[in-house]
Structure 1
Amino acid sequence: MGRVVVVENVTLDGVMQAPGGAEEDLRADFPYGGWARPYADRVMAETMGRGMGRDGGMLFGRRTYEQFHGFWSNRTDGNPYTEVLNRKPKYVASRTLSGPLLWQNSSLLVGEAVDAVAGLKRDVAGDLVVLGSGELVRSLAGAGLVDVYTLSIHPLTLGIGTKLFGEGAYGTMELVEAVPTTTGVIIASYRPTA
């Protein structure tokens, strides 16, 4: 049986929107895109790399899938993440996309995302890693399908932006592992307990 592992960059105030680049997600005129980039270091790369090497697949919402496809699918710079992202099975939850999907090893989930992911957990060995995809994460969390949250908690607050956990998202978690980076980011893995 597989596990759903949510991997997110978040600020101290819980914002997850557009950590990678200025143009990544401009919804609601978000002005702080790319906020996570100054905090990248060797420790973060090594820690995230270990997780990427595990068996399983990737889960994406449509917006994140399209961004990742546009950025990663044609890279030729030798980045080790490129090979992993191209090789791994990718499952996409979308109400608007139709198949076939262009990025190799990509499949569109059929039906409601929560039901499809519950089926994947039964059928796929290894981790089903969700990157970004906030709406999908909130749906899976609400259905009790998230097994682990690996959060790169950045030492800043933004005050605005889409948050990982929405209003009324009550839950308790148990710390599994915490790794500090040289830039003040804490990479913390949590297991939901309720």
Structure 2
Amino acid sequence: MRRIIVCTFLTLDGVMQAPGGPDEDPESGFAHGGWQKPTDDEEVGAAVAGWYEDFEAMLLGRKTYDIFASYWPGADPANPFTARMNDMPKYVASRTLTSLDWQNSTLLRGDTVEAVRALKASEGGDISVVGSGDLAQTLMRHGLVDEYRLTVHPVILGSGKRLFADGAIPTALEPVAVTATKGGTVVGVYRPTGAPTYDSY
């Protein structure tokens, strides 16, 4: 069984929207695009690069696919990520796209949840979900996420799309590896273990 691993950059208040640039995702008037780079450091980059070495494929929603497909095919070939991103198999969940131009991309047909279940049951290694907030919400609601790899950056925005939004399924998490960089970013790997337990003091 293949694992689905959600990889996301988050602010301290849980916002995942538009970390990469001001124009990345201005939906709902979001005015804080590009918040990640000022809080980034080499340790974060090394951790994320290490995560990608584990993946054999990516699972993307339409918006993230559009962002990546407009950048990576023409990206600097000297960047070690360029060949990795272009060569890796990519599965795209979309109700509006009918064809995909980015190399090694496959459109998931029919019901997304059933398509992802079939993908998990296929031969192969781990599959990363990068960005793709709407898709991540769907996967979480149906218990299809096997692991979270999160970088939580020292900035508060107060608005924007959140990975764990209102209505998220209550879930207990096992911390697999959690470290803090010198710049104050928490780099964490967590696995769902079922429903939370409750107690009192």
Matching of residues 5-154 of structure 1 within 5 Å: 5-99=5-99, 101-154=100-153
Q: Is the 8 A contact 1:92 1:107 kept in 2?
A: yes
Tell me, which stretches of 5 or more residues in structure 1 are unaligned?
Answer: none
Q: CA deviation at 1:17?
A: 0.5
Q: Secondary structure at the match of 1:123?
A: coil
- Sequence identity of aligned pairs in percent? 45
Q: Which amino acid is the alignment partner of residue 129 of structure 1?
A: S
Alpha-carbon distance in structure 2 between the residues aligned to 1:26 and 1:19: 11
Larger deviation: 87-96 or 54-63? Answer: 54-63
Indicate if the aligned counterparts of 1:19 and 1:33 stay in contact, CA closer than 8 A: yes
Alpha-carbon distance in 2 for matches of 1:22, 1:168: 28
8 Å CA contact retained: 2:39, 2:155: no
How many residues of Structure 1 are paired with residues of Structure 2 in the alignment? Answer: 193
SS of residue in 1 equivalent to 2:54: coil
SS at 1:73 equivalent:
helix
Q: Provide the rounded CA distance (Å) in 2 between the counterparts of 1:79 and 1:113.
A: 32
CA distance in 1, matches of 2:5, 2:174: 14
Question: In terms of mean alpha carbon deviation, does 62-71 or 117-126 score higher?
Answer: 117-126
Q: Distance in 1 between matches of 2:156 and 2:186?
A: 14
- Structure showing greater radius of gyration is 2
Cα RMSD for the two superposed structures = 1.0
The one-letter code sitting in structure 2 at the alignment partner of 1:61 is G
Contact 1:7–1:149 (8 Å) recurs in 2: yes
Corresponding residue of 1:4: 4
1:104-125 per-residue CA deviation (whole Å, 9 max, x = no partner) reads 0000001111111111111042
1:161 deviates by: 0.4
Tell me the amino acid that sits aligned with residue 114 of structure 2.
Answer: D
Q: Spell out, residue by residue over 1:2-44, the C-alpha distance to the aligned partner (whole angstroms, 9 max, x if none).
A: 1000000011111100011000010111010000111222211
Q: Paired residue for 2:197? A: none
Distance 1:106 1:168 in 2: 31
Code of the residue aligned with 1:132 in structure 2: it is G
Task: Give the whole-Å Cα distance in 2 for the aligned partners of 1:46 and 1:55.
Answer: 15
TM-score normalised over the length of structure 2: 0.93
